[in-house]
Structure 1
Amino acid sequence: MSSQSDQPFLQIVVCAAGVAPDVGKLITAAQQRRWDVGVVTTPQALGFLDPEAIEAQTGHPLRSAWRTPDQPRPTRPADAIAVAPATFNTINKWAAGLSDNLALGILCDAYGMGIPTAVMPYLNSAQAAHPAYRQSLERLREMDILIGTYEPHRPKAGGGADRYRWEEALELLTTRL
Protein backbone atom coordinates (compact mmCIF):
# COMPACT_ATOMS: atom_id res chain seq x y z
CA MET A 1 0.00 0.00 0.00
CA SER A 2 1.51 3.30 -0.96
CA SER A 3 1.30 6.49 1.01
CA GLN A 4 -2.05 8.20 0.80
CA SER A 5 -1.97 11.78 2.04
CA ASP A 6 -5.74 11.75 2.57
CA GLN A 7 -5.41 8.85 5.01
CA PRO A 8 -4.20 9.32 8.58
CA PHE A 9 -0.67 8.02 9.16
CA LEU A 10 -0.12 5.40 11.88
CA GLN A 11 3.44 4.81 13.04
CA ILE A 12 3.84 1.33 14.54
CA VAL A 13 6.77 0.88 16.91
CA VAL A 14 7.84 -2.76 17.24
CA CYS A 15 10.00 -4.10 20.09
CA ALA A 16 11.97 -7.36 20.29
CA ALA A 17 9.39 -9.84 21.57
CA GLY A 18 8.20 -13.27 20.55
CA VAL A 19 5.02 -11.95 18.94
CA ALA A 20 6.82 -9.29 16.87
CA PRO A 21 6.85 -11.41 13.67
CA ASP A 22 3.04 -11.17 13.68
CA VAL A 23 3.00 -7.35 13.37
CA GLY A 24 1.51 -7.83 9.91
CA LYS A 25 -1.79 -8.51 11.69
CA LEU A 26 -1.78 -4.97 13.08
CA ILE A 27 -0.69 -3.50 9.76
CA THR A 28 -3.54 -5.28 7.96
CA ALA A 29 -6.11 -4.25 10.58
CA ALA A 30 -4.96 -0.61 10.37
CA GLN A 31 -5.04 -0.60 6.57
CA GLN A 32 -8.55 -2.06 6.63
CA ARG A 33 -9.50 0.95 8.78
CA ARG A 34 -8.01 3.25 6.11
CA TRP A 35 -4.73 4.08 7.84
CA ASP A 36 -1.48 4.64 5.95
CA VAL A 37 1.07 2.68 8.02
CA GLY A 38 4.80 2.86 8.66
CA VAL A 39 6.93 0.67 10.94
CA VAL A 40 9.87 1.56 13.17
CA THR A 41 11.66 -1.05 15.25
CA THR A 42 13.98 -1.02 18.21
CA PRO A 43 17.46 -2.17 17.11
CA GLN A 44 16.95 -5.64 18.60
CA ALA A 45 13.48 -6.08 17.05
CA LEU A 46 14.89 -5.77 13.55
CA GLY A 47 16.12 -9.38 13.81
CA PHE A 48 12.59 -10.60 14.57
CA LEU A 49 11.06 -9.25 11.36
CA ASP A 50 11.09 -9.72 7.60
CA PRO A 51 11.90 -6.18 6.43
CA GLU A 52 11.03 -6.85 2.78
CA ALA A 53 7.59 -8.23 3.70
CA ILE A 54 6.82 -5.25 5.94
CA GLU A 55 8.00 -2.76 3.32
CA ALA A 56 5.89 -4.50 0.67
CA GLN A 57 2.85 -4.45 2.97
CA THR A 58 3.20 -0.80 4.04
CA GLY A 59 4.85 0.79 1.01
CA HIS A 60 7.31 2.49 3.36
CA PRO A 61 10.87 1.62 4.43
CA LEU A 62 11.22 -0.24 7.71
CA ARG A 63 13.28 1.97 9.99
CA SER A 64 15.43 1.14 13.01
CA ALA A 65 18.06 3.90 12.98
CA TRP A 66 18.12 7.65 12.71
CA ARG A 67 18.54 9.17 9.28
CA THR A 68 21.38 11.58 8.60
CA PRO A 69 20.54 15.28 8.17
CA ASP A 70 21.02 15.07 4.40
CA GLN A 71 18.53 12.21 4.00
CA PRO A 72 14.88 13.02 3.31
CA ARG A 73 12.21 12.02 5.79
CA PRO A 74 10.97 8.58 4.73
CA THR A 75 7.39 9.19 5.91
CA ARG A 76 5.18 12.06 6.87
CA PRO A 77 4.60 12.85 10.57
CA ALA A 78 2.43 10.40 12.48
CA ASP A 79 -1.17 11.18 13.32
CA ALA A 80 -1.06 8.38 15.91
CA ILE A 81 1.39 5.79 17.23
CA ALA A 82 0.88 2.17 18.28
CA VAL A 83 3.66 0.48 20.25
CA ALA A 84 3.14 -3.23 19.72
CA PRO A 85 4.59 -5.36 21.06
CA ALA A 86 6.04 -3.21 23.83
CA THR A 87 8.70 -4.85 25.97
CA PHE A 88 9.61 -4.34 29.63
CA ASN A 89 12.80 -2.58 28.51
CA THR A 90 11.14 -0.14 26.12
CA ILE A 91 8.28 0.69 28.49
CA ASN A 92 10.69 1.49 31.33
CA LYS A 93 13.08 3.51 29.17
CA TRP A 94 10.22 5.46 27.59
CA ALA A 95 8.65 6.31 30.94
CA ALA A 96 12.06 7.46 32.19
CA GLY A 97 12.50 9.73 29.16
CA LEU A 98 15.44 7.81 27.71
CA SER A 99 15.93 8.18 23.99
CA ASP A 100 18.83 5.92 23.04
CA ASN A 101 17.36 4.60 19.80
CA LEU A 102 15.05 5.83 17.05
CA ALA A 103 11.95 4.11 18.42
CA LEU A 104 12.37 5.69 21.86
CA GLY A 105 13.21 9.04 20.29
CA ILE A 106 9.92 8.95 18.39
CA LEU A 107 8.00 7.99 21.54
CA CYS A 108 9.60 10.67 23.69
CA ASP A 109 8.96 13.33 21.05
CA ALA A 110 5.36 12.18 20.53
CA TYR A 111 4.41 13.12 24.07
CA GLY A 112 5.57 16.72 23.60
CA MET A 113 3.88 16.89 20.20
CA GLY A 114 0.53 15.65 21.52
CA ILE A 115 0.41 12.61 19.21
CA PRO A 116 -2.11 10.02 20.47
CA THR A 117 -0.19 6.90 21.46
CA ALA A 118 -1.31 3.42 22.46
CA VAL A 119 0.97 0.80 23.97
CA MET A 120 0.38 -2.95 23.94
CA PRO A 121 2.70 -4.59 26.50
CA TYR A 122 4.16 -8.06 26.00
CA LEU A 123 6.24 -9.39 28.88
CA ASN A 124 6.53 -12.20 31.38
CA SER A 125 5.06 -12.31 34.89
CA ALA A 126 8.45 -11.85 36.61
CA GLN A 127 9.01 -8.61 34.70
CA ALA A 128 5.43 -7.48 35.36
CA ALA A 129 6.02 -7.99 39.10
CA HIS A 130 9.00 -5.60 39.13
CA PRO A 131 8.15 -2.27 40.80
CA ALA A 132 9.79 -0.31 37.95
CA TYR A 133 7.23 -1.71 35.50
CA ARG A 134 4.26 -0.68 37.61
CA GLN A 135 5.79 2.77 38.12
CA SER A 136 6.46 3.10 34.40
CA LEU A 137 2.87 2.24 33.52
CA GLU A 138 1.67 4.84 36.01
CA ARG A 139 4.00 7.45 34.48
CA LEU A 140 2.74 6.61 30.99
CA ARG A 141 -0.87 6.93 32.18
CA GLU A 142 -0.01 10.36 33.62
CA MET A 143 1.31 11.22 30.15
CA ASP A 144 -2.10 10.25 28.71
CA ILE A 145 -0.69 7.18 26.95
CA LEU A 146 -3.36 4.57 26.23
CA ILE A 147 -2.36 1.20 27.71
CA GLY A 148 -3.71 -2.07 26.35
CA THR A 149 -4.29 -5.28 28.22
CA TYR A 150 -2.09 -8.36 28.20
CA GLU A 151 -1.87 -11.20 30.68
CA PRO A 152 1.88 -11.78 31.15
CA HIS A 153 3.20 -15.24 30.29
CA ARG A 154 5.39 -17.40 32.55
CA PRO A 155 9.10 -16.52 32.64
CA LYS A 156 11.24 -18.45 30.16
CA ALA A 157 8.07 -19.85 28.57
CA GLY A 158 7.21 -17.26 25.96
CA GLY A 159 3.79 -17.73 24.57
CA GLY A 160 0.65 -15.72 24.77
CA ALA A 161 0.64 -15.02 21.03
CA ASP A 162 -2.87 -16.45 20.81
CA ARG A 163 -4.01 -13.98 23.49
CA TYR A 164 -2.19 -10.93 22.13
CA ARG A 165 -4.81 -8.47 20.91
CA TRP A 166 -3.09 -6.52 18.14
CA GLU A 167 -6.26 -4.67 17.20
CA GLU A 168 -6.73 -3.32 20.72
CA ALA A 169 -4.16 -0.63 19.87
CA LEU A 170 -6.47 0.62 17.12
CA GLU A 171 -9.51 0.41 19.38
CA LEU A 172 -7.71 2.52 22.00
CA LEU A 173 -6.60 5.10 19.44
CA THR A 174 -10.13 5.39 18.06
CA THR A 175 -11.18 6.90 21.39
CA ARG A 176 -8.71 9.77 20.81
CA LEU A 177 -9.23 10.50 17.14
Structure 2
Amino acid sequence: MTTLYLLGSAAPPVLEISQVIEDAQGRGYDVCLGLTPSAARWLAPQLAELERLTGHPVRSEYKAPMTADVWPRADVALFAPATFNSINSWAMGFTSSFVVGYAAEAIGKRIPLVAMPCVNAAYAQHRALDRSIAELRGMGVTVLYGPGGFEPNQPGEYRAEGYPWGLALDVVGAMVSPTT
Protein backbone atom coordinates (compact mmCIF):
# COMPACT_ATOMS: atom_id res chain seq x y z
CA MET A 1 0.00 0.00 0.00
CA THR A 2 1.22 3.53 -0.75
CA THR A 3 2.01 5.50 2.40
CA LEU A 4 1.03 9.17 2.59
CA TYR A 5 2.42 11.33 5.36
CA LEU A 6 -0.20 14.01 6.04
CA LEU A 7 1.47 16.87 7.89
CA GLY A 8 -0.55 19.74 9.32
CA SER A 9 -0.07 23.09 11.05
CA ALA A 10 -2.43 24.97 13.34
CA ALA A 11 -4.76 26.64 10.85
CA PRO A 12 -8.55 26.20 10.81
CA PRO A 13 -8.58 23.52 8.04
CA VAL A 14 -6.66 21.15 10.34
CA LEU A 15 -9.95 20.76 12.22
CA GLU A 16 -11.25 18.86 9.14
CA ILE A 17 -8.35 16.38 9.17
CA SER A 18 -10.42 13.27 9.96
CA GLN A 19 -12.47 13.74 6.77
CA VAL A 20 -9.25 14.26 4.79
CA ILE A 21 -7.79 11.05 6.20
CA GLU A 22 -10.94 9.16 5.22
CA ASP A 23 -10.83 10.67 1.72
CA ALA A 24 -7.15 9.71 1.31
CA GLN A 25 -7.85 6.20 2.58
CA GLY A 26 -10.74 5.94 0.12
CA ARG A 27 -8.23 6.79 -2.60
CA GLY A 28 -6.02 3.89 -1.49
CA TYR A 29 -3.47 5.54 0.83
CA ASP A 30 -2.15 4.33 4.17
CA VAL A 31 -2.13 7.65 6.07
CA CYS A 32 0.26 8.68 8.84
CA LEU A 33 -0.63 11.96 10.55
CA GLY A 34 1.96 14.44 11.79
CA LEU A 35 1.06 17.73 13.44
CA THR A 36 2.83 20.80 14.73
CA PRO A 37 2.63 21.01 18.53
CA SER A 38 -0.04 23.73 18.28
CA ALA A 39 -2.14 21.67 15.87
CA ALA A 40 -1.82 18.68 18.20
CA ARG A 41 -3.13 20.83 21.06
CA TRP A 42 -6.06 21.95 18.92
CA LEU A 43 -6.89 18.32 18.12
CA ALA A 44 -6.06 16.87 21.56
CA PRO A 45 -9.62 15.61 22.24
CA GLN A 46 -9.56 13.75 18.88
CA LEU A 47 -6.03 12.29 18.89
CA ALA A 48 -7.05 8.82 20.07
CA GLU A 49 -9.74 8.64 17.38
CA LEU A 50 -7.28 9.88 14.74
CA GLU A 51 -4.84 7.14 15.77
CA ARG A 52 -7.62 4.57 15.49
CA LEU A 53 -8.61 5.94 12.10
CA THR A 54 -5.07 5.83 10.67
CA GLY A 55 -3.86 2.76 12.53
CA HIS A 56 -0.68 4.69 13.42
CA PRO A 57 0.37 6.95 16.28
CA VAL A 58 -0.16 10.65 15.61
CA ARG A 59 3.23 12.33 15.84
CA SER A 60 3.96 15.91 16.89
CA GLU A 61 7.40 15.45 18.42
CA TYR A 62 10.71 14.08 17.24
CA LYS A 63 11.43 10.50 18.29
CA ALA A 64 14.31 9.80 20.63
CA PRO A 65 17.62 8.82 19.01
CA MET A 66 18.11 5.08 18.45
CA THR A 67 14.34 4.53 18.73
CA ALA A 68 12.62 2.55 16.01
CA ASP A 69 10.28 4.54 13.80
CA VAL A 70 6.59 3.87 14.44
CA TRP A 71 5.54 4.74 10.88
CA PRO A 72 6.17 2.90 7.63
CA ARG A 73 8.39 4.68 5.09
CA ALA A 74 6.63 7.48 3.21
CA ASP A 75 6.01 7.27 -0.51
CA VAL A 76 4.67 10.85 -0.64
CA ALA A 77 3.97 13.68 1.81
CA LEU A 78 1.32 16.39 1.87
CA PHE A 79 1.93 19.37 4.15
CA ALA A 80 -1.46 21.02 4.52
CA PRO A 81 -2.54 23.26 6.01
CA ALA A 82 0.89 24.88 6.09
CA THR A 83 0.88 28.13 8.03
CA PHE A 84 2.96 31.25 7.42
CA ASN A 85 5.30 30.15 10.20
CA SER A 86 5.66 26.59 8.91
CA ILE A 87 6.29 27.64 5.30
CA ASN A 88 8.91 30.21 6.29
CA SER A 89 10.59 27.89 8.82
CA TRP A 90 10.75 25.07 6.27
CA ALA A 91 12.19 27.27 3.53
CA MET A 92 14.84 28.65 5.90
CA GLY A 93 15.71 25.23 7.33
CA PHE A 94 14.51 25.97 10.87
CA THR A 95 13.36 22.54 12.01
CA SER A 96 12.19 23.06 15.58
CA SER A 97 8.97 21.12 14.94
CA PHE A 98 8.78 17.49 13.83
CA VAL A 99 6.61 18.12 10.75
CA VAL A 100 8.84 20.93 9.45
CA GLY A 101 11.92 18.82 10.17
CA TYR A 102 10.44 15.85 8.36
CA ALA A 103 9.51 18.00 5.34
CA ALA A 104 13.01 19.51 5.21
CA GLU A 105 14.64 16.08 5.33
CA ALA A 106 12.22 14.64 2.76
CA ILE A 107 13.60 17.09 0.18
CA GLY A 108 17.03 15.51 0.55
CA LYS A 109 15.54 12.01 0.49
CA ARG A 110 13.71 12.89 -2.73
CA ILE A 111 10.31 11.96 -1.29
CA PRO A 112 7.62 13.67 -3.40
CA LEU A 113 6.23 16.64 -1.47
CA VAL A 114 3.10 18.70 -1.92
CA ALA A 115 2.46 21.75 0.24
CA MET A 116 -0.65 23.87 0.41
CA PRO A 117 -0.39 27.03 2.49
CA CYS A 118 -3.21 28.42 4.56
CA VAL A 119 -2.50 32.09 5.11
CA ASN A 120 -4.74 35.12 5.13
CA ALA A 121 -4.31 38.13 2.86
CA ALA A 122 -2.52 40.10 5.58
CA TYR A 123 0.21 37.45 5.92
CA ALA A 124 0.36 37.17 2.13
CA GLN A 125 1.55 40.80 1.98
CA HIS A 126 4.73 39.90 3.86
CA ARG A 127 7.57 39.50 1.35
CA ALA A 128 9.00 36.51 3.21
CA LEU A 129 6.07 34.35 2.10
CA ASP A 130 6.73 34.77 -1.63
CA ARG A 131 10.46 34.20 -1.10
CA SER A 132 9.80 31.05 0.93
CA ILE A 133 7.38 29.61 -1.61
CA ALA A 134 9.87 30.31 -4.40
CA GLU A 135 12.63 28.66 -2.35
CA LEU A 136 10.54 25.52 -1.72
CA ARG A 137 9.53 25.31 -5.39
CA GLY A 138 13.20 25.68 -6.31
CA MET A 139 13.94 22.61 -4.17
CA GLY A 140 11.31 20.56 -6.01
CA VAL A 141 8.35 20.95 -3.66
CA THR A 142 4.97 21.28 -5.39
CA VAL A 143 3.42 24.29 -3.66
CA LEU A 144 -0.29 24.80 -4.34
CA TYR A 145 -0.53 28.54 -3.84
CA GLY A 146 -2.00 31.23 -6.05
CA PRO A 147 -4.20 30.62 -9.10
CA GLY A 148 -5.02 26.93 -9.31
CA GLY A 149 -4.13 26.41 -5.62
CA PHE A 150 -4.90 28.02 -2.30
CA GLU A 151 -5.67 31.73 -2.59
CA PRO A 152 -5.59 33.83 0.58
CA ASN A 153 -8.79 35.11 2.12
CA GLN A 154 -9.21 38.23 4.23
CA PRO A 155 -8.36 37.82 7.95
CA GLY A 156 -11.28 36.16 9.72
CA GLU A 157 -13.16 35.52 6.47
CA TYR A 158 -14.92 32.20 6.05
CA ARG A 159 -14.92 30.85 2.53
CA ALA A 160 -18.04 28.91 1.52
CA GLU A 161 -16.08 26.62 -0.81
CA GLY A 162 -13.71 25.76 2.04
CA TYR A 163 -10.08 24.74 1.92
CA PRO A 164 -9.23 22.88 -1.32
CA TRP A 165 -8.36 19.52 0.24
CA GLY A 166 -9.60 17.60 -2.81
CA LEU A 167 -7.21 19.51 -5.06
CA ALA A 168 -4.28 18.66 -2.78
CA LEU A 169 -5.15 14.95 -2.79
CA ASP A 170 -5.63 15.03 -6.58
CA VAL A 171 -2.11 16.45 -6.99
CA VAL A 172 -0.68 13.84 -4.61
CA GLY A 173 -2.44 11.16 -6.70
CA ALA A 174 -0.96 12.54 -9.91
CA MET A 175 2.53 12.31 -8.35
CA VAL A 176 2.26 8.88 -6.72
CA SER A 177 -0.56 6.52 -7.59
CA PRO A 178 -1.83 4.50 -4.65
CA THR A 179 -1.26 0.75 -4.67
CA THR A 180 -3.08 -1.82 -2.61
Q: Same fold (TM over 0.5)?
A: yes
**8 Å contact kept, 1:94–1:104:** yes
Q: Are 2:148 and 1:152 equivalent residues in the alignment?
A: no
Cα gap change, 1:19/1:72 in structure 2, threshold over 3 Å: closer, same or farther? same
2:101 aligned partner: 105
Contact 1:18 1:158 in 2 (8 A): no
Distance in 1 of aligned mates of 2:53 and 2:160 = 21
Q: Which residue of 2 aligns with 1:31?
A: 25
| Deviation readout 1:71-113 (Å, 9 max, x if unpaired) | 3211111100001111000001101111111111100100000
Q: Aligned ranges for residues 4-153 of structure 1 at < 5 Å? A: 7-49=1-43, 50-148=46-144, 149-153=149-153
Counterpart-to-counterpart distance in 1, 2:132 and 2:160: 23
TM-score by length of 1: 0.91
Distance 1:110 1:161, change over 3 A: farther
- Structure 2 counterpart SS, 1:19: helix
Report the Cα offset of residue 121 of structure 1: 1.1
Q: 1:142 deviation in Å?
A: 0.8
Q: Which runs of 5+ in 1 are unaligned?
A: 1-6
CA offsets, 1:108-150, max 9 Å, x none? Answer: 1000000001111111101011110011111111111112211
Q: CA RMSD in A?
A: 1.4
- Provide the rounded CA distance (Å) in 1 between the counterparts of 2:158 and 2:140: 29
Provide TM-score, normalisation by structure 2.
Answer: 0.89
Report the Cα distance in structure 1 between the residues aligned to 2:138 and 2:66, rounded to whole angstroms: 36
One-letter amino acid matched to 2:117: P
- Contact 1:118–1:146 (8 Å) recurs in 2: yes
Preserved contact between residue 150 and residue 163 of structure 1 (Cα < 8 Å): no
> Aligned partners of 2:170 and 2:98: how far apart in 1?
25
Counterpart residue identity of residue 96, structure 1: M
Structure 2: runs of 5+ lacking an equivalent: none
Aligned sequence identity (%): 34
| Cα distance in 1 between the residues matched to 2:89 and 2:160 | 24
